[in-house]
Structure 1
Amino acid sequence: MTVQFSQGFSNQCPRINLKGYSLYYIWQGHPLDKGEKHFYQLKNRPNPEKVQVMSACWDGYAGQYQLSAEGRLILTKFYYFLPDGLGESDAFLEELHGDFYLEFRTHFEGEQLYVPFAHGKVIDDREQWVEIKRTYVSSKTSKNNLFAWLKNFRWFV
């Protein structure tokens, strides 16, 4: 699988530290609940004439989000990709509302951190954040470690 581009993200909220993480997805539904999760439905939509799907960006665009000093998430742009790099962008100021989770990762296949929002505002109590550590399996992994990895994997399918 080709590594995917992350979303753009800037953090203006002094209560939140996300150093080392990149934003990948915005979900509705708790990350550990069984069943289907849904992407947050933005009011603004990308311009279909500018979208060019590529292996590193299945959507053909990426959002730029800002976490305000007050802890609210705002969509500020859609960036469009060209075969040789970034293309043009469309500017917005769409504040996200309701309950949702931001999925951050250390890299595309890396550890995940789900940061909850309630009524459109970030929850800064880290006890309510969900962190998923990745365990990598190599040919030298013992059978016990492999079993533990497979058991852990079932939770997130």
Structure 2
Amino acid sequence: MQLTQYTDYSLRVLIYLSLKQPDELGTISEIAGFYGISRNHLVKVVHNLANHGLIQTIRGKHGGMRLARPATEIAIGEVVRLTEPNFDIAECFNKATNLCTITPVCALKSILGEARSSFLQELDRHTIADAVSKKSALSKRIHLSLPITSSPRRTV
């Protein structure tokens, strides 16, 4: 299974913003420049993240964006579910295009379904804060001066 570029970019935006001070805003251009990715792609990503309440956007000359809630409260599984178009990891999951003749008697769909469920449960155990557990090294990489605080690991 491979996550889409859209999900990857969504996670990168959230990680980047989580390294900012709570009152400090990030911009699409800043994030696009840091990661070396398309500003146009990020506009769509940011719009979606804002629509789902994961980030706040502020318009205007001194506008930008920030996390809408603490990084410890944003589960990676939540982000993946919001950004992935589907989790049809094999043809037998898609009723519209399933041409496999053995699907009705094959256990593969059930096995893959359990694996998919386990994958998402594992992602639900981790937050954006967990992804930035090496905050000092990440801050240096992004060239931000941030306070280093430890965040407790989220368990579900």
TM bucket normalised to smaller? under 0.3
The normalised TM-score by structure 1 is 0.24
Query: Which has the larger share of helix?
Result: 2
Tell me which structure has the larger Cα radius of gyration. 2
Query: Which has the larger share of strand?
Result: 1
Of structures 1 and 2, the one scoring higher in RCO (CA 8 A, sep 6+) is 2
